[in-house]
Amino acid sequence: MKAVRFWGTRGSLPVALTATGVRAKIRAALQATAGRALATEADIDAHLQSLPFEISGTYGGHSSCVQIDTGGPEFVVCDMGSGLRPFGLAALAQRRGGPPQTFHIFVSHLHWDHIMGLPFFVPALIPGNRVVFYGSHPGLEAALRRQQDQPSFPVDFSIFNAQIEFVTLQPEERYTVAGLGVRSMLQRHGGDSYGYRFEGAGRSVVYSTDSEHPLEQPEHTERFVRFFQGADLVVFDGMYSLADAISIKADWGHSSNVVGVELCQMAAVKHLCLFHHEPVFDDAAIEAVLEETRRLEEITRGDQALRISAAYDGLEIGLDSGP
């Protein structure tokens, strides 16, 4: 495995950066120019580089879609939120008249925010391409077909001219896909969700979203610590604050940044990436969560430092080095 690329990082539903939000970023950027000369393009670029990410960038608004770059010709993707559309267009641009492409898509669960990108996945429309859907839900195929039915969508599943396949994965069993070892594990979420652990070329990545973690249950904690053990990267559902996760949003099926740090420290994970961001949070709020999480890691650190990131649309994390 070479890298992990994020095409959609929001939870529950896509969100857009509004005109008001754009103006606020521009205002903050202009206020930060006081005393600085911006006479050249290089001056402007240097100024932008000096700004915090919450001003100079955005965490984005697409719902869940994460690519595992194997270094080979076949594509591996986790979930089909609205981020699947830009991923598909980028993959299509790589083809440029070349041979047909193969896509391996692992589905954590069947809630709409994780499958809504499929109707807009252009590579699935192209004859000769191959798209394989993997999941541990027995109703995976039926759910994807139903999403295309009237009155939900104007064209049915037959619009996909690629070779379409469905593979049911037995939880905890190891499979080999596109040169990677992969296994799924049941997680606590309404209707069930499944996390995935990918291993290849001496690297390991865990994709664990839409999972609630009752840490007062030792057997649950131990199961996830084993699943995360020694991973180079864990993509983790940190949608809520700890206060939300244990109070008003208990049993809503998501976790917190605090729980992510605790589990990853116990499992000796190298890099934790917070994911499935709360759609109500703006860029500044997500940035604040990231800084709080990094401070928490510092004061609870043991023998090994845990690297902390927050996923944004367009982020690439190399598995030999950080973003």
Q: Mind giving me the DSSP string for 81-141? A: STTHHHHHHHHHHHHTT-S--EEEEE-S--SGGGTTTGGG-GGGGSTT-EEEEEES-TTHH
- Count of other CB atoms within 10 angstroms of residue 103: 23
Span of 36-45, 168-177, 256-265 with lowest mean pLDDT: 36-45
pLDDT at 33: 86
d(CA 265, CA 114): 28
CA 221 and chain centroid, separation? 22
For 52, the token pair is 């915090």
Longest dimension (CA), the chain: 62
pLDDT at 159: 95
pLDDT digits (tens, 9 = 90+) for 276-287: 999 999 999 999
pLDDT digits (tens, 9 = 90+) for 211-223: 988 777 888 899 9
For 99, the token pair is 């041979």
pLDDT at 200: 95
Q: Is the pLDDT of residue 241 over 80?
A: no
Q: How far is residue 246 from each of residues 209, 214, 255, 260, measured CA to CA in Å?
A: 17, 9, 9, 14
Mean pLDDT across the stretch 71-82?
96
Choice between 298 and 251, residue whose per-residue pLDDT is larger: 298
Q: Is the pLDDT of residue 38 over 90?
A: no
pLDDT at 247: 44
d(CA 92, CA 79): 18
Q: Which residue has the tokens 């589905």?
A: 107
306 and 262 Cβ atoms separated by less than 8 Å: no
* CA R_g for the chain: 20
pLDDT at 243: 53
In degrees rounded to 5, what are phi and psi of residue 10?
-90, 155
Q: How far is residue 219 from each of residues 36, 161, 225, 226, measured CA to CA in Å?
A: 57, 45, 10, 11
pLDDT at 277: 93
Q: Is the pLDDT of residue 115 over 60?
A: yes
Average pLDDT, the chain: 91
Q: Is the pLDDT of residue 194 over 50?
A: yes
The overall pTM is greater than 0.75: yes
Query: Three-state secondary structure along 12-43?
Result: CCCCCCCHHHHHHHHHHHHHCCCCCCCCCHHH
Q: Is the pLDDT of residue 187 over 90?
A: yes
For 29, the token pair is 């950027």
pLDDT digits (tens, 9 = 90+) for 243-268: 554 444 445 455 789 999 999 999 99
**Helices in the chain by DSSP H: which ranges?**
19-31, 41-50, 53-56, 84-95, 140-147, 218-228, 242-246, 257-266, 283-300
Which residue segments constitute the domains of the chain, with CATH numbers given?
Answer: 3-17+55-318 (3.60.15.10)
Mean pLDDT across the stretch 192-215?
93
Q: Is the pLDDT of residue 190 over 90?
A: no
For the chain, give me the number of helices (H) and strands (E)? Answer: 9, 14
For 240, the token pair is 């809520």
pLDDT confidence tier of residue 303, bands split at 50, 70 and 90: confident
pLDDT at 244: 55
d(CA 153, CA 214): 38
Angle, alpha carbons 126-11-282 (nearest 5°):
115
Mean pLDDT across the stretch 220-244?
87
Task: Sort 8 into a burial class: Cβ within 10 Å, 0-12 / 13-18 / 19+.
Answer: buried
Q: Mind giving me the DSSP string for 264-294? A: HHHTT-SEEEEESB-TT--HHHHHHHHHHHH
pLDDT at 256: 84
Q: How many percent of the chain have pLDDT more than 70?
A: 95
